[in-house]
């Protein structure tokens, strides 16, 4: 059975391997052991902390196959971004040039360096190992975070965003970086990624031009990838769009990938989730069941799984195997959210 749980120190080797396999553009999970160890330790402190409002917490989860103990994926939530250093994006705006006398009217997309998303909660570090990519597993990994957020709303901002990985080729070359960033930093995109992965995004952003940038001055290849995602990220974007996330014209300053956002209370799995009491059965009723995200209501021992659920009145009828995996028993509270 596949279960989502908080990351532990023993997961460091598996996390490092996933970071190495993720490839270019995955800046929130750099393949350096010490950096990843710091992220795990920060996550442990975040789960242990007495939190009344979002701050510097970072909650990280892994997908575990309970039968073998194998780790097949990871995901995380930053409680609030930009609290100790500026959080930068480009806002894609519009500049209009017009002259009645000359008969000229031109609408020109323009990039403005922005801190507008400061303080928002950020979905990040989503990665699923290729051999775990079966029906429903990606949904479990991505959407389990919403059940956690629904149970602990005070720990998160009123707005949630996700910065999606932008377009790069098989060699890790980013057209957006080549068309813009390289003019201010004569380094390869991979080197810029390394700097960002070390937590130094702001220091690079502050050296970027502060004045608006007309996109028509960029190479056509760079213009063509504005707000587009990497092919491997397209499924993750689709899942977020199903949850109500929308692109609002903010892009990453390095690879041009889109930032999508949603008010926390309007995220589908949060808004439609409900609390039920557990009824454990060796053989749950054969009443109609649909694929459902099911989580316990615990903080440090959070668990979430995807399984067919039969519910009657205010009770969730689940197998004893699933109850054990979630760490719940009869009359315990679980949170559920249907996939569809």
Domain ranges of the chain: 2-89+114-269, 273-338
Q: What is the pLDDT of residue 282?
A: 64
Checking DSSP bridges between strand 159-163 and strand 121-128, what pairing results, if any? parallel
CA distances to 90, 93, 283, 284 from 317, in Å:
48, 51, 9, 6
pLDDT of res. 176: 93
Single out the catalytic residue among 139, 230, 283, 315. 230
Checking if the pLDDT of 323 tops 90, the result is yes
Which are the contacts of 196, defined by CB distance < 8 A and separation ≥ 6? 27, 204, 254
Query: Per-residue pLDDT tens for 56-96?
Result: 999 999 999 999 999 999 999 999 999 988 898 999 999 99
> What is the structure's pLDDT at 326?
97
The whole-number average pLDDT for the span 292-312 is 91
Give exposure, 147-175, as e/b (b: 16+ Cβ within 10 Å). bbbbbbeebbbeebbbbbbbbbeeeeebb
Q: What is the mean pLDDT of the chain?
A: 89
d(CA 128, CA 139): 11
Cite the DSSP H helix spans in 51-153: 137-151
Taking only the tens place, the pLDDT of each residue in 247-287 is 999 999 889 999 999 999 999 999 999 999 998 876 665 65
Fold designation for 273-338: Barwin-like endoglucanases (2.40.40)
Q: Is the predicted pLDDT of residue 116 greater than 80, yes or no?
A: yes
Report the C-alpha gap between 188 and 192 in whole angstroms.
7
pLDDT above 90 covers a percentage of the chain that reads 63
Q: Could you tell me which residue, 242 or 31, shows the higher pLDDT?
A: 242
Q: Which residue has the higher pLDDT, 2 or 98?
A: 2
Max mean pLDDT range (4-8, 182-186, 195-199): 4-8
Distance CA 327, CA 302 (A): 9
CB atoms closer than 10 angstroms to residue 108 = 14
pLDDT at 157 > cutoff 70: yes
240: which DSSP letter?
H
97 is catalytic: no
pLDDT at position 29 is 81
Dihedrals phi, psi of 269, to nearest 5 degrees: -70, -25
d(CA 162, CA 243): 12
- Give the pLDDT of residue 284: 60
Phi, psi of 172 (to 5 degrees): 80, 15
Q: Indicate the fold that domain 2-89+114-269 takes in CATH.
A: Aminopeptidase (3.40.630)
């Amino acid at each position: 059975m596949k279960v989502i749980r908080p990351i532990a120190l023993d997961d460091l080797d598996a996390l490092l391997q996933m970071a190495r396999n993720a490839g270019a553009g995955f800046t929130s999970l750099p393949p350096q052991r010490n950096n990843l160890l710091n992220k795990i330790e920060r996550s442990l402190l975040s789960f242990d902390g007495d939190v009344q409002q979002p701050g510097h917490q970072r909650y990280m989860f892994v997908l575990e196959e309970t039968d073998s103990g194998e780790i097949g994926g990871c995901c995380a939530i930053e409680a609030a971004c930009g609290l100790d250093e500026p959080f930068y994006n480009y806002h894609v705006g519009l500049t209009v040039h017009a002259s009645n006398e000359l008969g000229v009217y031109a609408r020109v997309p323009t990039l403005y360096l922005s801190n507008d998303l400061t303080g928002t909660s950020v979905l990040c570090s989503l990665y699923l190992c290729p051999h775990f990519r079966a029906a429903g597993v990606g949904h479990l990994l991505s959407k389990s975070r919403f059940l956690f957020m629904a149970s602990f709303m005070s720990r998160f901002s009123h707005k949630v965003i996700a910065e999606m990985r932008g377009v790069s080729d098989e060699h890790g070359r980013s057209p957006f970086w080549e068309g813009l960033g390289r003019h201010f930093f004569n380094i390869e995109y991979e080197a810029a990624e390394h700097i960002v992965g070390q937590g130094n995004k702001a220091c690079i952003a502050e050296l970027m031009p502060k004045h608006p940038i007309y996109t028509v001055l960029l190479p056509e290849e760079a213009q063509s990838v504005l707000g587009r995602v990497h092919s491997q990220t397209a499924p993750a974007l689709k899942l977020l769009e199903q949850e109500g996330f929308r692109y609002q014209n903010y892009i990453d300053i390095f690879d041009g990938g889109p930032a999508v956002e949603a008010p926390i209370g309007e995220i589908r799995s949060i808004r439609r989730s409900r609390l039920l009491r557990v009824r454990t059965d060796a053989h749950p009723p054969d009443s109609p069941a649909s694929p459902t995200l099911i989580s316990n209501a615990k903080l440090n021992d959070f668990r979430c799984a995807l399984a067919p659920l039969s519910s009657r009145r205010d009770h969730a009828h689940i197998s004893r195997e699933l109850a054990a995996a979630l760490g719940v028993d009869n009359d315990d509270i679980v949170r559920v959210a249907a996939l569809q």
